[in-house]
Structure 1
Amino acid sequence: MGAMGEALEARMRDRLGRECLYVPSCRLGLYVALRHWCRPGGRVLMSPVNDDVIFFVVLAAGLRPVQAPLDPRDGSIDESAVPEATWRSVDAVVTTNLYGNPDPAPGLRARCDSLGIPLLEDAAHAIGSRVGGRPVGSYGDASVFSLSKHTAAKTGGFLAIADPRLRSELRDARDALLTPSRLSAELAYVLRPYAEAGVRGLRLVRAARAVMRLLGMEEREDIRMPLRPGELKQAVAEAPALPPFHSWVRVDMHDYRIAPGRARLRRTARLLDRLDDRLAAHLEGTRRLLASPWGAPGPGPVQPLFRVPILVADRDAAVAALARHRITTGYLYDPPLDDYATGLFTDPSPAPEPARWFARHALPADPLRADRIVAVLDAAGVRPAQAPPLPGAGPAGGPEDGAGG
């Protein structure tokens, strides 16, 4: 990665207090971690409300996903609802920290220690979140971060590791997976922000997306990408390996394995310089959205969320209302992975209903547009969802119940 990559690694190391490796994407970093810490054929506990790309990365590493029960307030893993038999059967845990809401890392760390299995933290949405007085990403044997989220770099991330002695081995594993940098890819990366700004200025978002689909540059027409079970079954038979899963893992980021050029690294460094200001803005917007009629504060303090999962009675109607005002809703993960992939490719959650409820009602709202989103939803008469009772609890109140984000 050269001196520029090493400078980025040093800055993240100072922030997190752990050795860090720059990676072209969070998904590649997670694949490197899974291959290092998990033997092929192992079983990995993970969240069913997650990007399907991450699900395919787990499969590509030669592992069997096992879906965990969730807390319906914020979509975090509910460790207390995981059966003891499941705990005894898994070989690793991968957190999600959905939208920046922390999974219960201290408890998961203790459980993994008692079982002698690794904890891997997917902190793609949570670069500014904290849990138990420590940053998300400081509990696992390894953690992965995305610079495509809070920094809006649209490229790059970090693999952070607890044991610095593993740096050389993991760096070599990363380098073996990289594809050479291409001038055309670098030029497209440099021009993309200007093109997107022009499209927004001309109000041509719908037309641009239609052209991208025609050119094969946008592969999702629905929330989940097509599973293609026949092809996936063949790919699983060839795991662990990335190439058989390339058509699934590359979705939304075709350059996920490309070695970064100087243009990417320079822009990433500039955006990383502004991270604390961005986090402050995300925190303020998160407070505004959590205070709205659709806010669903979860346990713990308010975090500078990447997206705020406000809870609405009719999610699709709310998405349509926002779209009429040119506010695009992304990062929807519905249906949950066990419903999407079925028992052919994953072990289902023992308590699937909280995940189904959350996936159906959560509307990921951009905190940087909090005031506009609140105004549009209010004018459209969007009703808040009534949260289901927590396991073992009595009837729940409205979504305003709770302590933090």
Structure 2
Amino acid sequence: MRDRIGRECLYLPSCRLGLYVALRHWCRPGGRVLMSPVNDDVIFFVVLAAGLRPVQAPLDPRSGSIDESAVPEATWRTLDAVVTTNLYGNPDPAPGLRARCDALGIPLLEDAAHAIGSSVGGRPVGSYGEASVFSLSKHTAAKTGGFLTVADPALRNALREARDRLLTPSRPSAELAYALRPYAEASVRGLRLVRAARAVMRLLGMEERGGIRMPLRPGELRRAVAEAPALTPFHSWVRVDMHDYRISPGRARLHRTARLLDRLDDRLAAHLEGTRRLLASPWAAPGTGPVQPLFRVPLLVADRDAAVAALARHRITTGYLYDPPLDDYASGLFTDPPPDPEPARWFARHALPADPLRADRITAVLDAAGVRPAPPPPGAGPAGGPEGGVGG
């Protein structure tokens, strides 16, 4: 990863823990952080846990990227940091955001969880900020692990110490469960028991998301915010979908992660080819720049829920949906809304994250189901976004 990004790297058990470490190091408690409203709610809770106030950025509705030109000057002057999302691997405008942050004297932190193979401005995503975080749960499918990269290598020891203070000891039961998980998942898929397995999880209270967003629980959240900065009060939110997010990795976990990371270039090549095919479909909004090896390609469909249902009938699960935007989800109690919330709402409502590794199957199902492309967003011109929009 150091060779790939050109920066000093620190391994962590998860990207979310890496972002928390970075926020605590670079941001004073009570600060205001610009972030995307179309993002995983776990990241929203990580920002709150760091004792910070999320400020939702305006978005380009065709790409889901931050629209830096639409951030009011009055808002820029109140910010203490900017956190990018690089949604589905499509890069946020890091060169412009870097220039803004330099002018204001505030840090740029890059969340590159979806963007391990993406680039912008001729440089890898993750090479612009004071720090960036990467997830190995995504492109490598390791389901664990991440990296924190830093521009200043002299900070590595201090950040490692901060990481170590947050880690919990490795447990034999957790390592055994991790080692057996790929075989259990393969068996469930092979026996076509996915729906039955999810029903059992719901019955046992093990499925933490009844819908796209996890329950906010505003009363509990207000009490947790009062205790911030601290990770423990937010544990029930931050751990969702990854209960081992702060566990010290054992030998089996590290061995499997390293083995999968060795295959990353082959995986990125497959994602790049699948992205090309999806961007050629009638539901895509391709840009004019180079195609990226996207983690997911956000197809823009008229009726997203109907498209999800059509795919589910063919045993294709749609994940990484971020609807409603975070300002609608959390309200003004916990975040500042963007100046114009409609572009983010439009994107969240119409974006269908498609796995490039299943490009042909997904396009065949959508075509057979008669899924229509989304209408143009209100006031839209040509496809926008960094270097030309989705995939650009």
Q: TM-score, normalised by structure 1?
A: 0.94
- Residue-by-residue CA offset, 1:258-299 (whole Å, 9 max, x unaligned): 000000100001000100000000000001001001011135
Matched residues in 2 for 1:214 and 1:116: separation? 51
Report the secondary structure of 2:220's partner residue: helix
Alignment correspondent of 2:210: 221
Are the structure 2 counterparts of residues 118 and 381 from structure 1 closer, same or farther at C-alpha, using a change threshold of 3 Å? same
Are the structure 2 counterparts of residues 274 and 227 from structure 1 closer, same or farther at C-alpha, using a change threshold of 3 Å? same
| Range that drifts further, 339-348 or 389-398 | 389-398
Are the structure 2 counterparts of residues 401 and 171 from structure 1 closer, same or farther at C-alpha, using a change threshold of 3 Å? closer
How far residue 73 of structure 1 moved from its aligned partner, in angstroms, is: 1.0
Report the secondary structure of 1:218's partner residue: coil
- Residue-by-residue CA offset, 1:162-198 (whole Å, 9 max, x unaligned): 0000001000000000000000000000000000000
Matched residues in 1 for 2:199 and 2:230: separation? 33
Aligned residues of 1:389 and 1:395 also touching (Cα < 8 A): no
How far residue 390 of structure 1 moved from its aligned partner, in angstroms, is: 7.5
Aligned residues of 2:120 and 2:387 also touching (Cα < 8 A): no
How far residue 217 of structure 1 moved from its aligned partner, in angstroms, is: 2.7
Are the structure 2 counterparts of residues 399 and 139 from structure 1 closer, same or farther at C-alpha, using a change threshold of 3 Å? closer
Aligned residues of 2:48 and 2:228 also touching (Cα < 8 A): yes
Matched residues in 2 for 1:229 and 1:75: separation? 27
- Residue-by-residue CA offset, 1:188-235 (whole Å, 9 max, x unaligned): 000000000000000000111111223333200100000000000000
Matched residues in 1 for 2:121 and 2:386: separation? 24
How far residue 324 of structure 1 moved from its aligned partner, in angstroms, is: 0.2
Matched residues in 2 for 1:395 and 1:269: separation? 42
Aligned residues of 1:283 and 1:303 also touching (Cα < 8 A): yes
Matched residues in 1 for 2:158 and 2:330: separation? 33
Matched residues in 2 for 1:174 and 1:400: separation? 35
Aligned residues of 1:296 and 1:401 also touching (Cα < 8 A): no
How far residue 14 of structure 1 moved from its aligned partner, in angstroms, is: 1.2
Are the structure 2 counterparts of residues 280 and 106 from structure 1 closer, same or farther at C-alpha, using a change threshold of 3 Å? same
Q: Percent identity?
A: 91
Q: Tell whether 2:373 aligns with 1:399.
A: no
Are the structure 2 counterparts of residues 198 and 400 from structure 1 closer, same or farther at C-alpha, using a change threshold of 3 Å? farther
How far residue 388 of structure 1 moved from its aligned partner, in angstroms, is: 6.8
Of 130, 134, 137 in structure 1, the residue corresponding to residue 123 of structure 2 is 134
Are the structure 2 counterparts of residues 54 and 263 from structure 1 closer, same or farther at C-alpha, using a change threshold of 3 Å? same
Point out where structure 2 has 5 or more consecutive residues left out of the alignment: none
Matched residues in 2 for 1:391 and 1:151: separation? 37
How far residue 393 of structure 1 moved from its aligned partner, in angstroms, is: 5.9
Are the structure 2 counterparts of residues 187 and 233 from structure 1 closer, same or farther at C-alpha, using a change threshold of 3 Å? same
Are the structure 2 counterparts of residues 218 and 43 from structure 1 closer, same or farther at C-alpha, using a change threshold of 3 Å? same
Point out where structure 1 has 5 or more consecutive residues left out of the alignment: 1-11
Are the structure 2 counterparts of residues 199 and 102 from structure 1 closer, same or farther at C-alpha, using a change threshold of 3 Å? same
Are the structure 2 counterparts of residues 206 and 113 from structure 1 closer, same or farther at C-alpha, using a change threshold of 3 Å? same
